[in-house]
C-alpha cells in the first residue's frame, strides 16, 4: 500500500471519523468529584464500541478500584514485529463558565473546518485518530505491527489510579513503543513531534501566628497577620527579574526550536504592558527550566472580613520542573525555601502527600528509530519537514510508562493546535489535522512494521 492509496483511503473515511468524534463529544465525561461518573462510563463504552467497530475486536473496559474505567484492546501482528501501544484519554475537563461558550460545550458544531465542543481536541480527537488509523491498516488484512490501544478515563482529574492502570496491567500494556495522541502541532499545518514534557509537583503551605483571630486595635502593630507573613514568603520565590529563586533546581539551555516572543504573547493573551519574567530565551524558560506559581489562597474573604489580625493563611504552590529534574528533590527544595524564608518566626506547616503526583518530566530521545520513523511519517503526511517541539506541560502517564517498561520509546503528537483552547471555553479541533495525524500514524505503523533490523540500523545512523 503506497502513501497515496493510504491517503485516499483515510480521506474517504473521514466522514465516519467525524461522526465518531461527535458521538464522543456529546458525552459530558467529566471525572472530577461532583460530576456524574455514569457519563465517564458511557464514554468508555462508546470508546470501546468505536474501537470494536474499527477492528479491535477484543476491546473492553479495564476497571480500576474506585476509579473511572479505561478501555483496552489489542490486535496481534506478525511474529517478531514490534508492539506499539496507542494511548488517548476519554475523560474531559469541566466545561467552565458556560455563558462564555459560543455554542453549548456538549453539542458538537462544525464551523469553518473546526469542530467545537469540550473534548473535541483534548483528547477525544486522539481516540478517533487511533480508530481511523487502525481501520486504514486493517483494510489490508493483518496490521504490520502488534497494536495495543489503551484509552484512559481519568487523565484530567486524578493520577491516583495510574499505578493500578499501568503497573497493575503491565502484561497487557507492555510495548516497544508508545504513541501518546494527547499532543499537537505547534501551529495548524506544521507537523510536530512533541519532544519533551516538564515535570510538576505542588504543596500547600500554611502560616499561623495566633491560635485564633484577635482584635487588630488591641494587638495590631506588634503582632503580624498571617496573610502579610505568607505574602512575604511567596514574594521570595522569584528574584527581581522574575526568575525562580529556589536553589537546587535544574535548568538547561534549549537547543531545539526557539519560540518567537510576539507569537507567544498573542497566543497567551498576556496584557501588553506585562513584562515576560525570568532569564534566558523563552524556550529556556518554558521548556527547560522551572516555573513556580500560586494556584490558590485561603484567607478570609473580603465580604465579612473585620478588624482582626488574621491568625492563619494557606497557599497552594505549584512547581513545574525541567525534564530530567527529580520531582522529589525539587519538592524538598521548595519546602526548604518556603520554610527558610518565613519572616518573624511565624509557624510554617505543609500539607500534601508525596505520591505519584510529584511527576517526572520526560525528554524524548529523538535519535532513536521510532522517533526517526515518526518524523518521516509526519513529513510525508503533511508534505513538509516536521519539527521537534518541547511542551511546558506534563503528562503523568509518560514517566509511569518509562518506569514500568524500561527502554520503551515514547512518541507524543496529536491533532491539537495553537487554536484548540484545550481546558478553556470554545475548545475545538481542526478536522484536517485529525485527517493528517491519522495518516501520519498509519504511515508510521506501516513503516515501523517494515523496519527490519537492517533498516533500524540505517535509521540509527
The piece of 64-72, 115-123, 250-258, 340-348 that touches Zn ion (CB under 5 A) is 115-123
Minimum distance from residue 89 beta carbon to Zn ion (Å)? 6
69 vs 126, which CB is nearer to Zn ion? 126
Cell of 380: 510525508
Minimum distance from residue 121 beta carbon to Zn ion (Å)? 8
Question: Which of 13, 91, 123, 433 is in the footprint of Zn ion by CB under 5 A?
Answer: 123
Catalytic residue among 22, 74, 91, 182, which?
91
According to the binding rule CB under 5 A, does residue 122 interact with Zn ion? yes
291-298 sheet: strands from edge to edge? 291-298, 312-321, 199-208, 347-351
Q: Within a 10 A sphere around the Cβ of 375, how many other Cβ atoms?
A: 22
Binding mask 75-114 for Zn ion (x = CB under 5 A): ----------------------------------------
Q: Is 65 among the residues known to form the active site?
A: no
77 vs 392, which CB is nearer to Zn ion? 392
333 vs 422, which CB is nearer to Zn ion? 422
123 vs 176, which CB is nearer to Zn ion? 123
Q: At what angle do helices 369-382 and 453-460 cross, to 10 degrees?
A: 80
Map the footprint of Zn ion across residues 228-267, applying CB under 5 A. none
- Region of 197 on the Ramachandran plot (φ > 0 left; ψ -120 to 50 alpha; else beta): beta
| CB proximity list for 439: less than 8 A, separation 6 or greater | 6, 7, 10, 136, 380, 381
Map the footprint of Zn ion across residues 126-145, applying CB under 5 A. none
In the three-class reduction of DSSP (H, G, I as helix; E, B as strand; rest coil), residue 88 is classed as strand
Minimum distance from residue 155 beta carbon to Zn ion (Å)? 6
In the three-class reduction of DSSP (H, G, I as helix; E, B as strand; rest coil), residue 154 is classed as coil
According to the binding rule CB under 5 A, does residue 325 interact with Zn ion? no
31 vs 224, which CB is nearer to Zn ion? 31
Question: Which of 182, 225, 409, 433 is in the footprint of Zn ion by CB under 5 A?
Answer: 182
Catalytic residue among 152, 155, 284, 430, which?
155
Query: 47: part of which helix (H) or strand (E)?
Result: helix 37-54
Minimum distance from residue 122 beta carbon to Zn ion (Å)? 4
Q: Is 155 among the residues known to form the active site?
A: yes
In angstroms, the CA 338 to CA 96 distance is 32
The piece of 16-24, 174-182, 224-232, 382-390 that touches Zn ion (CB under 5 A) is 174-182
The piece of 101-109, 182-190, 224-232, 291-299 that touches Zn ion (CB under 5 A) is 182-190
In the three-class reduction of DSSP (H, G, I as helix; E, B as strand; rest coil), residue 18 is classed as helix
In angstroms, the CA 433 to CA 418 distance is 12
The piece of 98-106, 116-124, 143-151, 188-196 that touches Zn ion (CB under 5 A) is 116-124
Minimum distance from residue 258 beta carbon to Zn ion (Å)? 25
121 vs 131, which CB is nearer to Zn ion? 121
Map the footprint of Zn ion across residues 189-228, applying CB under 5 A. none
123 vs 427, which CB is nearer to Zn ion? 123
H helices, E strands: number in the chain: 14, 18
In angstroms, the CA 143 to CA 197 distance is 30
In angstroms, the CA 366 to CA 85 distance is 18
Residues paired with 192 in a beta bridge: 387
In angstroms, the CA 323 to CA 138 distance is 37
177-181 sheet: strands from edge to edge? 60-62, 70-75, 146-152, 83-89, 177-181, 409-413
Q: How many residues bind Zn ion (CB under 5 A)?
A: 3
Minimum distance from residue 333 beta carbon to Zn ion (Å)? 28
Minimum distance from residue 197 beta carbon to Zn ion (Å)? 12
In angstroms, the CA 260 to CA 252 distance is 19
The piece of 90-98, 104-112, 120-128, 239-247 that touches Zn ion (CB under 5 A) is 120-128
The piece of 35-43, 80-88, 117-125, 303-311 that touches Zn ion (CB under 5 A) is 117-125
According to the binding rule CB under 5 A, does residue 284 interact with Zn ion? no
287 vs 422, which CB is nearer to Zn ion? 422
In angstroms, the CA 222 to CA 201 distance is 36
- Judge contact between 242 and 235, C-beta under 8 A: no
Minimum distance from residue 150 beta carbon to Zn ion (Å)? 14
Q: Tell me the C-alpha to C-alpha distance, in Å, between residue 111 and each of 96, 128, 401, 425, 428.
A: 21, 19, 37, 16, 10
Residues paired with 88 in a beta bridge: 151
Minimum distance from residue 424 beta carbon to Zn ion (Å)? 13
Interface positions with Zn ion (CB under 5 A): 122-123, 182
Active-site residue set: 91, 155
Amino acid at each position: 500500500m503506497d502513501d497515496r492509496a493510504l491517503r485516499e483511503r483515510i480521506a474517504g473515511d473521514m466522514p465516519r471519523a467525524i461522526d465518531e468524534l461527535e458521538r464522543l463529544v456529546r458525552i459530558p465525561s467529566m471525572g472530577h468529584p461532583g460530576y456524574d461518573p455514569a457519563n465517564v462510563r458511557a464514554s468508555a463504552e462508546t470508546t470501546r464500541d468505536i474501537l470494536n467497530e474499527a477492528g479491535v475486536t477484543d476491546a473492553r473496559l479495564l476497571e480500576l478500584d474506585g476509579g473511572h474505567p479505561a478501555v483496552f484492546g489489542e490486535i496481534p501482528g506478525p511474529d517478531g514485529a514490534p508492539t506499539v501501544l496507542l494511548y488517548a484519554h476519554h475523560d474531559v475537563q469541566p466545561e467552565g463558565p458556560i455563558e462564555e461558550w459560543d455554542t453549548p460545550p456538549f453539542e458538537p458544531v462544525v464551523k469553518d473546518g473546526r469542530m467545537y465542543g469540550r473534548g473535541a481536541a483534548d483528547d477525544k480527537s486522539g481516540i478517533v485518530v487511533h480508530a481511523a488509523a487502525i481501520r486504514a491498516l486493517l483494510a489490508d488484512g493483518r496490521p504490520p505491527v502488534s497494536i495495543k490501544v489503551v484509552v484512559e478515563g481519568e487523565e484530567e482529574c486524578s493520577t491516583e489510579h495510574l499505578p493500578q492502570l499501568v503497573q497493575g496491567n503491565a502484561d497487557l500494556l507492555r510495548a516497544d513503543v508508545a504513541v501518546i495522541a494527547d499532543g499537537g502541532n505547534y501551529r495548524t499545518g506544521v507537523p510536530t513531534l512533541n519532544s519533551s514534557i516538564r515535570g510538576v509537583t505542588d504543596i500547600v503551605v500554611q502560616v499561623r501566628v495566633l491560635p485564633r483571630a484577635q482584635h487588630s486595635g488591641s494587638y495590631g502593630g506588634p503582632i503580624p497577620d498571617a496573610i502579610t507573613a505568607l505574602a512575604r514568603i511567596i514574594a521570595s520565590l522569584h528574584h527581581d527579574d522574575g526568575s525562580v529563586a529556589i536553589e537546587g533546581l535544574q535548568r538547561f539551555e534549549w537547543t531545539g526550536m526557539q519560540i518567537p516572543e510576539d507569537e507567544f504573547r498573542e497566543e497567551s493573551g498576556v496584557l501588553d504592558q506585562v513584562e515576560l519574567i525570568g532569564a534566558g530565551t523563552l524556550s529556556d524558560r518554558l521548556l527547560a527550566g522551572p516555573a513556580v506559581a500560586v494556584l490558590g489562597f485561603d484567607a478570609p474573604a473580603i465580604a465579612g472580613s473585620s478588624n482582626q489580625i488574621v491568625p492563619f493563611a494557606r497557599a497552594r504552590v505549584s512547581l513545574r520542573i525541567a525534564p530530567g529534574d527529580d520531582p522529589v528533590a525539587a519538592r524538598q527544595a521548595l519546602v526548604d525555601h518556603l520554610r527558610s524564608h518565613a519572616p518573624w518566626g511565624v509557624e510554617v506547616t505543609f500539607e500534601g502527600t508525596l505520591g505519584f503526583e510529584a511527576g517526572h518530566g520526560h525528554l524524548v530521545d529523538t535519535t532513536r528509530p521510532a522517533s526517526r520513523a515518526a518524523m518521516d511519517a509526519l513529513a510525508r503526511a503533511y508534505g513538509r519537514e516536521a519539527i521537534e517541539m518541547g511542551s511546558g506541560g506534563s503528562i503523568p502517564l509518560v514517566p509511569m510508562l518509562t518506569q514500568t517498561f524500561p527502554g520503551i520509546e515514547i512518541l507524543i503528537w496529536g491533532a491539537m493546535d495553537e487554536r484548540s483552547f484545550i481546558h478553556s471555553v470554545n475548545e475545538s479541533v481542526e478536522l484536517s489535522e485529525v485527517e493528517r495525524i491519522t495518516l501520519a500514524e498509519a504511515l508510521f505503523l506501516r513503516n515501523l512494521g517494515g523496519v527490519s533490523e537492517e533498516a533500524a540500523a540505517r535509521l540509527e545512523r
